[in-house]
A = this chain, B = another copy of it.
Amino acid sequence: MLNIYKNLFNKNELLNGNFGLEREALRVDSNGYISFKEHPSVLGDKIDNPYITTDFSESQVEMITPALSTLAEARDFLEVLYDIVSNEIEDEYLWPQSMPCDIPLDGNIPVANFGDGEEGKNATEYRQNLLEKYGGKKQLISGIHYNFSFKENIIEKLYSNLGEGKSYKQFKNEFYLKIARNYLRYRWLLIYLLGGTPVLHESYSDKCLKILQRISHESYTSKGVISIRNSECGYENKIDLFPSYSSVESHVKSIINFIDKGVIENSKELYSQVRLKSKDNKNLIESLLRDGVQYLEIRSIDINPFEKSGISIEDLRFIHLFVIYLSIKEENNYDLWQEEGLFNQRAIAKYGQDKIELKRDGNLVDKNEYALEILSEIERINKELSLGENDNIERIRNKVLSSSLTYANKITEKTKEEGYIKANMSLAKAYKDSAYQNRFKMVGFEDMELSTQILMKESIKRGITVDILDRKENFISLSKGNKKEYIKQATETSMDSYSTVLMMENKVVTKKVLKEHGIRVPLGEEFDSLDDAISSVKRFINTPVVIKPKSTNFGIGISIFPDGTRASDLIKAFEIAFENDVTVLIEEFIKGKEFRFLVIGDEVAGVLNRVPANVIGNGTMNIEELVEEKNKSYLRGKGYKTPLEKIKLDKHVDLFLSQRGLDTKYIPKVDEIVYLRENSNISTGGDSIDYTDTMPQRFKDIAVASARAVDAKICGVDLMIEDYTDKNSPYAIIELNFNPAIHIHSFPYKGVERKIAEKVLRLLGFVK
């Protein structure tokens, strides 16, 4: 089998796949006590949010990534979900452990409420039954579920080489069934490596508690324990169940049999360590028979509390390697393999840190010897298939050789030092801080525009399915139920017609249309040739004007003469503008401050003013030091990955300062503002300042009327206002933008962070 893999596949084909992660986490207050608050309503309907829902308890958030092609993407997505939830639960935290936090007695555990719909009622009732059957505490145990399949073309190639005489469905079923069986045989190794539940809080009173020793004032452990969650004290069925894995049909028969006997209520209640999954998992039995096995779900993994998302990328990579191993490893015909697998699981779970013996085909074998044997086989696969995981295997080998390196041991030690609640809460608080600092971005998607990242996060939060159609182009689709919308760059949507966009794109047309609607625009003229422009110059001498290319953007080729100037300067400005476009405009210069009004639908969602890069003195630091200090903010970065850019001290700054008799060694007085450049672009370190609440309504009305004039639903209106504090001040519309950035309003340097993405989703009809 290894040779077939080697001949057929390259590294990338084997390392890519479909990976989906699920992680549960309890919401807790700052004392590590379980939350009694409702699941945040902004996270949408639990029933139909595919990303964020609740598990057993109302306080038990479940985060579910979609199937992604690489493990790194899946893990990043899990972090995104963490960030989203963390930022929506206000002063609460996400408990970083699989075993519960401080919890009340069973009767007081808040069972998840799925609402009054039929589906919702069934979901709630099912949880009530579980509560009665297993007790509420066990149901609060959280974990990581690892869903995976190979890319279909892998299976197809294997089928065309090995599938003779079988249907494709049968072949594929057998392929995954083999992995499932081998997983059950060798799962003990994963439990050893990933086990992270050696400690219980005292509130988890249980028969198990009695056999453990107290290691801090409120917590208990047991010598050698790796994973209480995977032990008899963990989340198990009432009796040991061994469904058949020899074929999909016999497996389904086993499950139906268990249900018939009343051992379990439905297939979901079969708490096996690995599950066969199909296309329609709400009707798993039918779908398995009809569609066959589509992927496997590994359920043994404890949350790693030392990782914000609950699992490290190295561990994920090892799991995949392990799965490849399972798909290759030949099986023998030992009968009691399922019982042995369970025996080994429990042994490792309870005593894994110790030197123990496991069973192999009925014989006892030293745990380490067994583990090292598996690892050496994995190592060979890694080498033969050039999978590049040498270092990772070495790390795993060391963990096998030294149980002090296990997560279980590390947690035990940390608990001894700090106590259970404190140890976990200090991690939870650090992760919450990290989530807050990530609020403007979507981890793993930092190559996309911030505005798109923000919109995607907002959509995921609300259970709107996000698909990336063209990542470089920031082209996504959003869908929920029957509704589907295509969106580019966050604000280019179906809400605006093409002609609306074309009007905004064309400054001449924009001005004509605004003027027709009685909205003030700068007077101006248009020239198609430099000669024509030059022959008109005398009319504009000493009058305040702006000279600009007709269609370019970002301020390129624009010259401004606020106090007017002489003919030669005007000619020069025309020359520059004509370098950037075949048509050039000269317009009257409007005095005042320029504001960006972001119109969404019928309202102004944000008003912003941009000021040039600057520092404010404290009387002791010089400009250089003040810049360094200001640049420390995590909101400032490089290359548009953050809402603000770091200020760069370059020759432009030197020139600007020297023209004012200053240099970067100058120490500004207390509260003295020193500007460092002329232009106010965010890209050169400028600051964005929110004015949404202080801007007089009149100017907001003008902005909305301007957008309406071109029938724009999303529109960045640039308004020049002579004195914005005076609602009767003169003004003029400078430009309408059909693709306004939203991140500048969502995360300004100063002022309230505006929930723009929510407004876009409301406009699109996804949010009521």
Contact = CB atoms under 8 A, between A and B. Distances in A.
B499 A497 contact: no
A494 B497 contact: yes
Contacts of A470: 506, 508-509
Contacts of A493: 497-499
B500 A494 contact: yes
A498 B492 contact: yes
Interface in A466-515: 469-470, 472-473, 475, 485-488, 492-503, 506, 508-509, 512-513
A714 to B, nearest CB: 9
Contact of A486 (B492, B496, B503): B503
B473 A488 contact: no
Contacts of A486: 499-500, 502-503, 509, 513
A738 to B, nearest CB: 7
B509 A475 contact: yes
Contact of A508 (B469, B495, B502, B528): B469
Contact of A498 (B494, B508, B509, B583): B494
A506 B475 contact: yes
Contacts of A494: 497-500, 711
Given A508-B470, A711-B494, A502 B475 contact: yes
Contacts of A711: 494
B487 A499 contact: yes
Interface string A45-87: 0000000000000000000000000000000000000000000
A492 B485 contact: no
A499 B509 contact: no
Interface string A702-715: 00000000010000
Contacts of A496: 497-498
A503 B485 CA distance: 11
Interface residues of A, number: 31
Contacts of A495: 497
A705 B64 CA distance: 35
A733 B469 CA distance: 19
Nearest to A711: B494
A216 to B, nearest CB: 53
Contacts of A498: 492-494, 496-498, 500-501, 738
A506 B471 CA distance: 12
Contacts of A509: 469-470, 473, 475, 486
A210 B475 CA distance: 83
A472 to B, nearest CB: 7
Contacts of A502: 475, 486, 488, 492
A529 to B, nearest CB: 12
Q: Which of A485, A493, A498, A711 has the most C-beta atoms of chain B within 10 angstroms of its own C-beta?
A: A498
A486 B508 CA distance: 13
A484 to B, nearest CB: 9
Contacts of A469: 506, 508-509, 512-513
Contact of A499 (B472, B488, B500, B528): B488
A506 B473 contact: yes
A499 B492 CA distance: 6
Interface string A565-598: 0000000000000000011000000000000000
Which of A475, A497, A512 gathers the greatest number of chain B CB atoms within 10 Å? A497
Contacts of A488: 499, 502
Contacts of A528: 472
Contacts of A583: 472
Contacts of A472: 528, 582-583
A577 B509 CA distance: 35
A600 to B, nearest CB: 15
Nearest to A528: B472
A583 B470 CA distance: 11
A488 B711 CA distance: 16
Nearest to A10: B535
A492 B499 CA distance: 6
Nearest to A508: B470
A144 B704 CA distance: 47
A702 B503 CA distance: 32
A510 to B, nearest CB: 10
Contacts of A485: 499
A360 B40 CA distance: 96
A473 B583 CA distance: 11
A473 B711 CA distance: 20
Nearest to A507: B470
A501 B486 CA distance: 11
Contacts of A512: 469
Nearest to A512: B469
A336 B423 CA distance: 114
A500 B506 CA distance: 20
Nearest to A714: B498
Contacts of A497: 493-498
Interface of A: 469-470, 472-473, 475, 485-488, 492-503, 506, 508-509, 512-513, 528, 582-583, 711, 738
23 contacts: A469-B508, A469-B509, A469-B513, A470-B506, A472-B528, A472-B582, A472-B583, A473-B509, A475-B506, A475-B509, A486-B500, A486-B503, A486-B513, A487-B499, A492-B498, A492-B502, A494-B497, A494-B500, A496-B497, A497-B497, A498-B500, A498-B501, A501-B501
Sorted nearest first, the 7 A-B pairs with minimum C-beta distance are A494-B497, A494-B499, A486-B499, A469-B509, A488-B502, A496-B498, A498-B501
Given A470-B506, A475-B502, A492-B498, 5 more contacts: A469-B512, A470-B508, A488-B502, A493-B497, A496-B498
